[in-house]
Copies of this chain bind each other. A is one copy, B any other.
């Protein structure tokens, strides 16, 4: 099924205890699309870059069957920039700088042939823009949305409005607590389900994630890696694998959605093993399925 991804594209400076990279390709839409591309035959991307965005990254995305008709390239302006630094505790990062550049005036315009997309992923951008996307499209079967503390604090009212039109919200644990005003994660989750989404995924970094719906709760661990090189993009890779798997199966019943959570976790685990998007470039069905089976043995037990 057709998959639409709206989000940011950026050039990131990333520093971890192990290495440092500058002007590496990043942004939510990039990680989401790359992760989804292993499940979806075509991924339609809507975003914006400046004229400094290296063409090698466009080529890289096209080679992964990511359709760039919806990518705006703004002449005379620069691509969104972000810089982050991780300490040994990879769950924590400091943002060193953010330069909005082309992102300041970004207005996502959905190309004609994307308008009937059935599966839609709204990456972490202004909730007003997210709602604007939803007003353009029609025939969507499932809308998945990410957000962050910045929007929860500064555009709370607008975010609450957008949430009414969302099927699945994916956020991290501190964001869930902030959005709901509840310290207990389970209670926080139930409160968020009353805001619009019928399903909520709470990401917990190295502690995995939790799916909460009106019907079920499902807990998935993170893959136990001995070496984590760069956590940047892990959450977006999760979202891409998750929604990619759902769109491939054109379903989101409870069994499918549980497996989608695992495939999302698989893609996040590949992402963090290498710097920037590198961990998402050299995969194939066998590698992905092998790690899915490792998740299976990591979590499954006999009832008696």
Interface-located stretch among A118-126, A151-159, A180-188, A275-283: A180-188
Also in contact, A217 and B224, with CB within 8 A (given A258-B301, A259-B301, A302-B255): yes
Residue A201 is within 8 A (CB to CB) of chain B in the complex: no
The reply to whether the CB of A94 lies closer than 8 angstroms to some CB of chain B is: no
Of all chain B residues, which has the CB nearest A259? B301
A207 an interface residue at 8 Å Cβ cutoff? yes
Residues of B within 8 A of A100 (CB): none
A139 contacts chain B at the CB level, 8 A cutoff: no
Is A132's CB within 8 Å of the partner chain B?
no
Of the 9-residue stretches A40-48, A141-149, A225-233, which lies at the interface with chain B? A225-233
Closest to A296 in B: B303
The answer to whether B298 touches A300 (Cβ under 8 A) is no
| Interface contact B224-A221, CB-CB below 8 Å | no
Chain A interface category by residue count: 35 or more
Cβ-defined contact, B302 with A218, below 8 A = no
Residue of B nearest to A218 (CB): B298
Q: How far is the CB of A172 from chain B (nearest CB, A)?
A: 14
Give Cα A302 to B263, complex, Å.
Answer: 12
In the complex this chain forms, how many copies of it are found?
A: 2
Q: Which of A153-203 contact B (CB under 8 A)?
A: 183-187, 190
How far apart are A61's CB and chain B's nearest CB, in angstroms? 29
CA distance A207 to B227 in the complex (A): 20
Closest to A212 in B: B224
Q: Are A184 and B301 in contact (CB under 8 A)?
A: no
- Bound-state CA distance A221–B302 (Å) is 16
Interface string of A76-88 (1 = CB under 8 A from B): 0000000000001
Residues of A257-304 contacting chain B, CB below 8 A: 258-259, 261-262, 293, 296-304
Across the interface, which residues of B come within 8 angstroms of A301, CB to CB?
A: 218, 255, 258-259, 261-262, 296, 299-300
Known: A185-B224, A208-B221, A299-B299. 18 other contacts (CB 8 A): A185-B206, A186-B225, A187-B226, A204-B207, A216-B297, A217-B298, A218-B298, A218-B299, A219-B221, A219-B224, A219-B298, A255-B301, A255-B302, A259-B301, A259-B302, A261-B301, A262-B301, A293-B303
